[in-house]
Amino acid sequence: MKHFLKFLDMSGEEITELLDLAGELKKKQKAGEVYQPLKGKSVAMIFRKSSTRTRVSFEVGIAQLGATPLFLSSADIQLGRGESIADTARVLSRYVDGIMIRTFDQQEVEDLAQYGTVPVINGLTDFSHPCQVMADLQTIKEHKGRLNGLKLAFIGDGNNMANALIVGGLKVGLSVSIACPKAYSPDPAVLEFAKGYPGKFTLTEDIFEAAAGADVLYTDVWASMGQESEREARAKAFQAYQINEALMRAAKPDAMVLHCLPAHKGEEISEGVFEAHAQEIFDEAENRLHAQKAILVKLMA
Ligand code: CP
Ligand code: NVA
């Protein structure tokens, strides 16, 4: 593994190995053990979009591993004034040992990896959010004791989260059901990939069909970063796509609920369901730290 760009590039074994490492690193952290395999190194973090979890968990995780994090908002670096990704990649590669980027177009992440000479990590694009899904899988594994054979149902927009959950989930043995309006389906490349998993993947407009017998219910905002102007149209299209008490009754009685956050309670999830599952949801947020440390160690140590 040279980069962490999207699950389509990875094998199920590689994902499982990273999850095991994330579990070990979490144990070390909880035991107060200092573990600094990246001492003396630096990691640049480029943000073209806002962030709470990704920024803080990467910055803290990099520091815990002994390296120096550099927060680079695109508003403050020349990238924001039109310097190309290719040149930015070649410059940063002369200074730092790894680059994390949050941006719009997946192609920018791919270009960064192509033109740079250091490992690149995708911290969210419009296409995928693989760091989040690593934390999601770690959380499911902790709460359920396994991944293989469990059913995950995603309710809402066929967005970056849905794309990453489908590919990452199927690769580690989950069954994945997506409920979304037709006009908001997951990426065609992802649906093509899912064709290789007959009987393990369903795409429907019916939230109750998707949630039936699910072990994990998952949702995300109706309008993602960059879609602010579509908010009204999306609110209409997604009105019926909510995880609430009625939908919970379709899932297994011990079903977990996950949300990548930030949440819009009363839209994609009811306040009651969110609070009833807050322990799982905030474990999930915490696991961003441990999962990303595993990615950093794997790529850079
Ligand atoms: N879930 C997630 O990536 O959160 P942030 O946008 O706060 O980083
Ligand atoms: N789909 C959301 C995820 C935020 C973590 C977005 O892209 O804004």
Phi, psi of 53 (to 5 degrees): -65, -50
Given strand 256-259, what is the order of strands in its sheet? Answer: 201-204, 175-179, 151-155, 216-219, 256-259
Q: Are residues 146 and 194 in the same domain?
A: yes
Condensed to tens digits (0 to 9), the pLDDT of residues 7-49 reads: 999 999 999 999 999 999 999 999 999 999 999 999 999 999 9
Q: What is the pLDDT of residue 240?
A: 97
Q: Are residues 112 and 229 in the same domain?
A: no
Q: Are residues 60 and 176 in the same domain?
A: no
Average pLDDT over residues 287-293: 99
| C-beta atoms surrounding 78 within 10 Å | 12
Is residue 250 situated within a structural domain? yes
Count structural domains, the chain.
2
Condensed to tens digits (0 to 9), the pLDDT of residues 17-28 reads: 999 999 999 999
Condensed to tens digits (0 to 9), the pLDDT of residues 69-94 reads: 999 999 999 999 999 999 999 999 99
Mutate to test the pocket of ligand 1, among 161, 288, 289 (most ligand atoms within 8 A of CB): 288
Condensed to tens digits (0 to 9), the pLDDT of residues 110-167 reads: 999 999 999 999 999 999 999 999 999 999 999 999 999 999 999 999 999 999 999 9
Is residue 2 situated within a structural domain? no
At a CB cut-off of 8 Å and minimum separation 6, what does 73 contact?
47, 80
Bridge partner residues of 43 (DSSP):
69, 98
Q: State the helix-helix crossing angle for 12-30 and 160-171, rounded to 10 degrees.
A: 100
Q: Are residues 188 and 258 in the same domain?
A: yes
> Which structural domain range is residue 199 located in?
131-284
Condensed to tens digits (0 to 9), the pLDDT of residues 123-138 reads: 999 999 999 999 999 9
What is the DSSP secondary-structure string of 260-298?
-S---BTTTB-HHHHHHTHHHHHHHHHHHHHHHHHHHHH
Q: Are residues 81 and 59 in the same domain?
A: yes
Q: Average pLDDT, whole number, for the chain?
A: 98
Distance between CA 123 and CA 283 in Å, rounded?
A: 19
**Ligand 2 center–CA 135 separation, angstroms:** 15
| Residues lining ligand 2, Cβ inside 6 A | 124, 129, 159-161, 220-221, 224-225, 260
Mutate to test the pocket of ligand 1, among 45, 48, 49, 51 (most ligand atoms within 8 A of CB): 51
Q: What is the pLDDT of residue 114?
A: 98
Q: Is the pTM of this model over 0.85?
A: yes
Q: Are residues 189 and 99 in the same domain?
A: no
Is residue 148 situated within a structural domain? yes
Which CATH number belongs to the domain containing residue 175 in this structure? 3.40.50.1370
Phi, psi of 270 (to 5 degrees): -80, 150
